[in-house]
Amino acid sequence: MSNTVTEASSVESLESAFELTALDRCDSCGAQAYIRVEMASGELLFCAHHGKKYQEKLSGVARSWHDESAKLNADRNS
């Protein structure tokens, strides 16, 4: 008896395939989006704060998780 179970739930992270701009806004609060979540039903944009907040909840259903929140520390003009 050989029962092969293939896992079809491999989340591929497409690095730098998508550049978020200042025009992309968080779906929760309207701040600049740094995180883009691709899901079966569509995509969601989050600021760094809400991205972290929803990461645990969405990681199970997200197809890909694009995180540019590192830019927050990289180019801060203040």
- The site for Zn ion (CB under 5 A) is made up of 26, 28-29, 31, 47, 50
- 17 Cβ contact partners less than 8 Å away, ≥ 6 residues apart: 66
What single string gives the DSSP state of each residue in 35-48? EEEEETTEEEEE-H
Q: How far is the CB of 24 from Zn ion (least distance, A)?
A: 11
Nearest to 34 by CA among 13, 48, 22, 23: 48
Q: Min. distance of Cβ 6 from Zn ion in angstroms?
A: 37
Taking the complex as a whole, the smallest distance from the CB of residue 4 to Zn ion amounts, in Å, to 43
Q: Which is nearer to Zn ion, 31 or 61 (CB)?
A: 31
